[in-house]
Amino acid sequence: MLGVNTPALPASLRRTNQRTVISLLLRLGCASRADLAKAAGISQPTAGKITSELLEMGLLQELDSAQMDGVSRGRVTPPRLGRPGQLLRLDDSHPRFLAVELGVVQTSISALPVAIRLHDEWARQIPTPGSARTLLREFERAAAGLVTDAFWGVLISVPGIVDETKGKVLFSPNLHWLERVDLVRTVQQIWKLPVVLVQEIRTLALGHITAEPGEDFFLVDFGQGVGGAIVLEGQLYPHPMPLSGEVGHTPIPGNSRRCGCGAIGCLETLVSESGLLQSFAAATGGPPEWSCLVQHLEDHGLQPWLGDSLEAAAKVICGALNVLGIHRVVITGTIASLPEAVTAFLAREIRKGAMWARFGSVECTNAPRRRSAGLVAAGLDRLVFPAEENGKSVHPSNRTSPELSTLVFQP
């Protein structure tokens, strides 16, 4: 599946083929069994067996070819010659995962099907509580309107440094109370389901891989904090310690602002949403409101106070590019929502310092946040098709133990 590299050993070959079919349908939208066999490089009988298993598991839907030929979720497919085969797509009728974006300011909740939406759509949004007890009350309210019998797990995007294998928030500079609670157990007081924690920037990178699979890239998200995620050869970069991509905590000379991490001068105190608003208010005397900042930039263009902060961000980003040896940057979050002159300036500054620009081109693109897509991709990877040979699937046919709902599944 997405973001995970599974070795094709004999014992895991069936699971590998299942994950390949799911990945293909994520990209293609819909396809016949023959299409899938050809794209996956497997025989048609094998493709037929795999798709039958996935249909039985509730991961796929069969579609009438006359209804679906030509267009699938907005994607145009090539004309078909001869009698078309029956088309398949990922199931979009049954919610399978309860997805939660635990943000610094706002928490969003939605029930999501396997068919991943490439643009975030959250059913419920609440102010992020200041304690586990308040969070529990909010989850209880949300649970009152949900029927979770068919759910396979709860997927939570979490800010900070997260040990995903143990389901533990180790350090959260902007939500310190998360460090003192067992978030998995708290959630399972409401929903008796497996729980997966995914660090928020890794979630965004998985969502981008889902929407736009392809080359290596470094994703940088600007929000209440600033974080980065590395994708190499189409896979989310794994690391034994959950500390990679912490670009927001790079110290910037001359910056005296104190960061939530406890240090002074971190980049995110300048280019996070709150940092930008603080600089805007200090420089212009305007109210620290995002709409006012955007309007000011539209009226007056790029300002020196913003240019200095963007130059600092560019130096940190191009330093990462030089270390990684890649030439593609994907920008998401608040910076991407500012006027084009702002993002163009940031891209130019990144190219100035990136060594790759001496030998070729450095690509800087803006993209929407696709957090829900990343969460579902993580749920499929870790719960339905766990990478380890002895990993347990949460599909109902594999629930042999009543203790399954207390497990945290490893990536």
CA angle 127, 130, 135 (to 5 degrees): 70
Residues in Cβ contact with 255 at an 8 Å cutoff, skipping those fewer than 6 apart: 264, 265, 266, 267, 269, 270, 312
Residue whose C-alpha is closest to residue 218's, from 312, 326, 316: 326
How would you classify residue 330: left for phi > 0, otherwise alpha for psi between -120 and 50, otherwise beta?
Answer: beta
Give the per-residue pLDDT at 408: 35
Indicate whether 303 belongs to any domain.
yes
Same domain, 141 and 259: no
Which of 58, 90, 122 is the C-terminal boundary of a domain?
Answer: 90
Which of 66, 90, 114 is the C-terminal boundary of a domain?
Answer: 90
Model pLDDT for residues 40-60, shown as the tens digit of each residue: 889 999 999 999 999 999 999
Query: Which helix or strand (DSSP H or E) is residue 154 part of?
Result: strand 153-158
Indicate whether 243 belongs to any domain.
yes
Indicate whether 162 belongs to any domain.
yes
Of the chain, the percentage scoring pLDDT greater than 90 comes to 63
Give the domain CATH number at 71: 1.10.10.10
- Contact by Cβ (8 Å): 91, 59: yes
Determine which of 41-55, 77-91, 266-280, 331-345 has the lowest per-residue pLDDT on average: 77-91
Q: Has residue 406 got a pLDDT over 90?
A: no
Indicate whether 1 belongs to any domain.
no
Model pLDDT for residues 375-398, shown as the tens digit of each residue: 999 999 899 988 654 455 555 445
Structural domain count, the chain: 3
Which of 62, 90, 118 is the C-terminal boundary of a domain?
Answer: 90
In this prediction, residue 242 has a pLDDT band, given cuts at 50, 70 and 90, of confident
Q: What is the mean pLDDT of residues 73-100?
A: 71
Same domain, 359 and 380: no
Q: Residue 79, Cβ neighbours under 10 Å: how many? A: 8
Task: Please state the φ and ψ torsions of residue 156, each to the nearest 5 degrees.
Answer: -125, 125
Same domain, 270 and 218: yes
Query: What is the per-residue DSSP string for 69-104?
Result: TTEETTEEPPP--SSPPPEEEE--SS--EEEEEE-S
Give the per-residue pLDDT at 185: 93
Q: Has residue 265 got a pLDDT over 90?
A: yes
Query: Which helix or strand (DSSP H or E) is residue 300 part of?
Result: helix 290-300
Give, to the nearest 10 degrees, the angle between helix 304-324 and helix 273-284: 150
Indicate whether 411 belongs to any domain.
no
Give the domain CATH number at 399: 3.30.420.40
Q: Has residue 302 got a pLDDT over 90?
A: yes
Residues 291 and 40: their CA atoms lie apart, in Å, by 47
Burial zone of 22 (CB within 10 Å; 0-12 exposed, 13-18 middle, 19+ buried): buried
CA angle 378, 382, 383 (to 5 degrees): 110
CA distances in angstroms from 315 to 304, 318, 325, 347, listed in the order given:
17, 5, 15, 11
Same domain, 222 and 136: no
Indicate whether 57 belongs to any domain.
yes
Domain that holds residue 20: 10-90
Give, to the nearest 10 degrees, the angle between helix 44-57 and helix 13-28: 80
Give the per-residue pLDDT at 386: 81
Same domain, 77 and 178: no
Instruction: Output the pTM of the full model.
Output: 0.86
Same domain, 149 and 262: no
Indicate whether 390 belongs to any domain.
yes
In this prediction, residue 213 has a pLDDT band, given cuts at 50, 70 and 90, of confident
Same domain, 290 and 250: yes
Indicate whether 381 belongs to any domain.
yes
- Contact by Cβ (8 Å): 173, 243: no
Model pLDDT for residues 101-129, shown as the tens digit of each residue: 999 999 999 999 999 888 888 988 999 99
**Higher-confidence residue: 23 or 37?**
37
Residues 144 and 387: their CA atoms lie apart, in Å, by 34
